[in-house]
Structure 1
Amino acid sequence: MFESVTRRAGLLAAMLLLVMGTAAEATTVRVHYDVGYGNRITIRGSKTPLSWTTGTNATWTTGNVWTLSWANSVGDVEVKPLVNDTSWSTGANYRIKAGATVDIYPFFGAASGQMQYVSNFSSPQFGNVRTLRIYLPPSYSLNPLKRYPVLYAHDGQNLFSASTATYGVEWRMDETANSLIGSGAMDEVIIVGIDNGGANRIYEYTPCCDSQYGGGGADKYERFILDTVKPYIDQNFRTLTTKANTALIGSSLGGLVSFYIGRRNPTAFGKLAALSSSFWWNNQALTQQVEAATTKVAVNFYIDAGTSSDGLTETTRMRDALVADGYVQGQDLYYYVAQGAGHNESSWAARLNIPLTYLFPWQSTVY
């Protein structure tokens, strides 16, 4: 019965294309979702032949891909998939440009991700162990057809739980991601919180070498992420591994090391967020490197600082260096001044929505 229904739907879709234009001239949406036996995907949209009041049946194809096409002459359209034309997908409308073929990996239900923990994760680079705290986005268990971008985040113990945070205040990264995904402001991502090395934190997060604090372990930490953490995540989770889908985020020294590693590895990381970064380190040596650069590195940068003893002068100098290298505010650069914000977890938590939506805005994932 179900097969005959889908065959009839496919025949109707084919007839519709004959009326509206050839397949080569069609705009197509492909919804990747297993609705289970006897159920169907429909599409509602903003322009005829679609409507917001009644859904149009998509055609099932092998691999649980539901396809619907219409003529390019309809123009750009906003659409949303539904299950059985009753349950709307979570998040914002999908924007479909005329002539495009767009793959959609929706989910239906609450925007609530899940946490997984990998304890005693070994770092051969440092000869120690730590915990990886992994946020899996809402659809991870609901849509096994989907793969996800990955955000690697430093100071993992401060991100998701006040009980493990160094100063008892967390970033609320999971709650913020859930909210942004649910409202359709942000794409779903896997977030990998990497615990710092405790007493070794300054060493791990810094290039060589500050006259007062020493440091110098950032190159080892870079190898720890690229040679140990990232391969483990890619092997054990459904990730999208290209640079366009891979980012870094951190604050303070974590911001410094995000900037340092991301800029050195533009084939691995396409974007990064550096909050309240310690650009003062070693007489602003990292900023001096950017100022002396003769080529522009293909990485998108988010940098910010608060106005209350938060290194705003040094961050502004780094902004100016990036602009001089050709980066453009609002495109491959986002510079933000957080009025009244200080150098603490509560300030970073309060504005976390800004870098998250810059790094992974809705419908930006490259499949």
Structure 2
Amino acid sequence: MMKRIAIAAAATMLLAQAHATTVRIHYAAGQDTIQVRADKGAAGWSQGVPAKPEGGPLNVWTFTWPDTLGDIQMKPTLGADKVSIGGVYKLAAGSTVDIYPFFGPPFGKVTIVKDFASPQLDNKRALRIYLPPSYGENAAKRYPVLYMHDGQNLFDAKTASYGVEWGIDETVNRLVATGVMDEVIVVGIDNTPERIPEYTPCCDPKYGGGKLNAYDAFIVETVKPYVDRTYRTLPGKDTTAIMGSSLGGIASVLIAQRHPGIFSKAGGVSSSFWWNNGALLAKVPDRVPVKFYLDAGTRDDGLDDTTKMRDAMLAKGYRETDDLMFYKAEGGRHNEASWAARVDKPLTWFFPWGSTRQ
């Protein structure tokens, strides 16, 4: 009899779990508590309800709603009043979702790794690594990674080639704080005096080139493994992207085409598709499972060639807004100021708020 009762109780518990919408909040709250605000149930938007600590060393707090309430929108608070930074979290009815919030200032930090060696290219350069706002606050959280070329130009006007930076850190901070983009780590890979050959396949009649294979291997075999073992990354292909501008744009597109098992997203901003008399337009590889972002400005920025690349990729089976985004920047020029003004478009397409799971 007792055995039957225990089995029945276990079955009832499993059924209850199956018919609950659950959030698991990963956060070391210290002496504080985690509360939940939501659009349905006992938790409202104006006043939170305490979540339940699971106990143990993982610092996980849980809260559940009957799945009969349907989909839930919620935000955690630290204590009664400190609401998490960013957007609302959306939970499908009956789902269990793990979230990794933060409550401090929405400002990431850029660190510099000097003299990072490339055995493939036999040279050294700096890596400029943007760590997102929650990195130092929520040690349970891991992050997608965006690899970018021309690292000198991304974060600091003093090191930028023409005194104008992309402002990647400020843009990501803003997009995260306003809840339209997930947090990411950005790895800026500095260029070298060999920028043209490193970013290009062989061989343009005027500029030569031809070291892209070695640069590709440098990123895949040296930079990415270093980043994954040094920082709290999500190393899988679904959470790894690559992006650059001009020659860095064609480098990003070609590297992602070669490595669809490593990169799931690639951005070509004002890409130099004119390279080698348009050879890249004439031989577009078959479709691979990668989301490609392409853009160009309307003022001397290679818009015709970028449009041809868009059309060639559509002919290979890519679908616009699904795995191909094309943007024509009215008035955009071939410079950092124009790229800074529109970089929010690939960032929010690649990493929309709530899209990252770990």
Is the TM value for this pair above 0.5? yes
Amino acid corresponding to residue 56 of structure 1 in structure 2: V
How well do the aligned residues superpose, as a CA RMSD in angstroms? 1.3
Q: Distance in 2 between matches of 1:306 and 1:317?
A: 14
Q: What secondary structure is seen at the aligned counterpart in 2 of 1:187?
A: coil
2:146 paired residue number: 151
Among candidates 311, 328, 333, match of residue 324 of structure 2: 333
Q: Distance in 2 between matches of 1:329 and 1:124?
A: 38
Amino acid corresponding to residue 46 of structure 2 in structure 1: T
Q: Distance in 1 between matches of 2:354 and 2:187?
A: 21
Please tell me whether residue 92 in structure 1 is matched to residue 83 in structure 2.
no
Q: What secondary structure is seen at the aligned counterpart in 1 of 2:283?
A: helix
1:166 paired residue number: 161
Q: CA deviation at 1:265?
A: 0.3
1:82 paired residue number: 77
Among candidates 19, 36, 48, match of residue 25 of structure 1: 19
1:57 paired residue number: 50
Q: What secondary structure is seen at the aligned counterpart in 2 of 1:337?
A: strand
Q: Distance in 2 between matches of 1:126 and 1:24?
A: 54
2:9 paired residue number: none
2:122 paired residue number: 127
Amino acid corresponding to residue 69 of structure 1 in structure 2: T
2:199 paired residue number: 205
Q: CA deviation at 1:57?
A: 1.5
Mapping of 1:150-299 within 5 angstroms? 150-197=145-192, 199-290=193-284, 293=285, 295-299=286-290
2:305 paired residue number: 314
Among candidates 284, 299, 302, match of residue 293 of structure 2: 302
2:8 paired residue number: none
Q: CA deviation at 1:53?
A: 2.0
2:6 paired residue number: none
> Contact 1:245 / 1:366 at 8 angstroms: preserved in 2?
no
1:40 paired residue number: 33
Among candidates 346, 357, 361, match of residue 337 of structure 2: 346
Amino acid corresponding to residue 340 of structure 1 in structure 2: G
Q: Distance in 2 between matches of 1:46 and 1:326?
A: 41
Q: Distance in 2 between matches of 1:54 and 1:341?
A: 46
Q: What secondary structure is seen at the aligned counterpart in 2 of 1:159?
A: helix
Q: What secondary structure is seen at the aligned counterpart in 2 of 1:116?
A: strand
Please tell me whether residue 111 in structure 1 is matched to residue 101 in structure 2.
no
Runs of 4+ in 1 over 6 A off after TM superposition: none
Q: Distance in 2 between matches of 1:285 and 1:29?
A: 51
Q: Residues 34-59 of structure 1, C-alpha deviation per residue, up to 9 Å, x if partnerless?
A: 0003x111111011233112212211
> Contact 1:271 / 1:359 at 8 angstroms: preserved in 2?
yes
> Contact 1:260 / 1:286 at 8 angstroms: preserved in 2?
no
Q: CA deviation at 1:109?
A: 2.0
Q: Distance in 1 between matches of 2:117 and 2:329?
A: 37
Q: CA deviation at 1:69?
A: 1.4
Q: Distance in 1 between matches of 2:156 and 2:110?
A: 11
Q: Which 10-residue stretch deviates more, 279-288 or 223-232?
A: 279-288
Q: Residues 11-46 of structure 1, C-alpha deviation per residue, up to 9 Å, x if partnerless?
A: xxxxxxx89x71111111111100003x11111101
Q: CA deviation at 1:283?
A: 2.1
Q: Distance in 2 between matches of 1:33 and 1:285?
A: 51
Q: Distance in 1 between matches of 2:283 and 2:44?
A: 54
Q: What secondary structure is seen at the aligned counterpart in 2 of 1:22?
A: helix
> Contact 2:25 / 2:101 at 8 angstroms: preserved in 1?
yes
Amino acid corresponding to residue 105 of structure 1 in structure 2: Y
Q: Residues 271-329 of structure 1, C-alpha deviation per residue, up to 9 Å, x if partnerless?
A: 01110000111122222222xx4x42000011000000100001001111111122222
Which ranges in structure 2 are unaligned for 5 or more consecutive residues?
A: 1-11
Q: Residues 160-214 of structure 1, C-alpha deviation per residue, up to 9 Å, x if partnerless?
A: 01110111111011111111111111100000000011x2000000011111111
Mapping of 1:353-364 within 5 angstroms? 353-364=344-355
Q: CA deviation at 1:358?
A: 1.0
